[in-house]
Structure 1
């Protein structure tokens, strides 16, 4: 597999994750997050931390879920989906359960919603990554 294929898969995953999260945070769950966390939010967001998150998280998902879904000369989409869900559940569970544990007034509903979102979104992003890999393979 070429470095170009891996790069295109990574860039596709970044794009899909960014679009999914934009729709999720901007439209679907906006009220939940901003309503439930309004007392904790900055007036002006800092952008570099979430940029670093997207770049590293998609790289980790590619490495841990998408690339291992290659079996011989084929790509197992179900493996990428399942491994992506495990990566998402682990990462978003760590974030949300830690916040719920130590941040005063962190809502349980946000914990559960965001944990489910991260699990699902990561699984879908890894599936799309595997489809990209399969098409280029």
Structure 2
């Protein structure tokens, strides 16, 4: 199996676990409070999966692969957090600009979460890739 495919699955699993914990337990009360009327009872999972796939491909291209090439956790943390900050900010500020009732509290929470999540996924992907694929 190609090392890029292995890297994708490493990042996908890490991202999915961390983000699902956030969405199901930590962030859920926040989202219900701010966005209760907007939330679906049953999410459209295919949309979430498509987002995860392309978000992770972007992380691999712009953050994780360069961090592996440099063997640099500092690169993974700094560029991972920047990637998450920029991508989540794009989504949140667009929502805030065009959706009448989009709360600014959610904008701030999600931007910070995007930076933290992306930094964690980048560092952990680098760690597991180095541990299992570079030997």
Contact map agreement 1:93 1:115 (CA 8 A) in 2? yes
Deviation >3 Å, runs of 4+: none
Name which of 111, 115, 119 aligns with 2:115.
119
Unaligned stretches of 5+ residues in structure 1: none
1:40-95: per-residue Cα shift (whole Å, max 9, x none)? 22344222111100011111101110111234xx5111101111111101100000
RMSD of aligned Cα (Å): 1.4
Contact map agreement 1:6 1:133 (CA 8 A) in 2? no
How far is 1:35 from its partner?
1.7
Alpha-carbon distance change, 21 to 70 in structure 1, aligned in 2, over 3 angstroms: closer
| Aligned equivalents of 2:68, 2:31: Cα separation in 1 | 37
- Pairing 1:40-59 to 2, within 5 Å after superposition: 40-59=38-57
Name which of 66, 69, 82 aligns with 1:68.
66
Equivalent position SS for 1:78: helix
Count of matched residue pairs: 133
2:32 corresponds to:
34
Equivalent position SS for 1:39: coil
* TM-score normalised by L of structure 1: 0.90
Unaligned stretches of 5+ residues in structure 2: none
1:103 corresponds to:
99
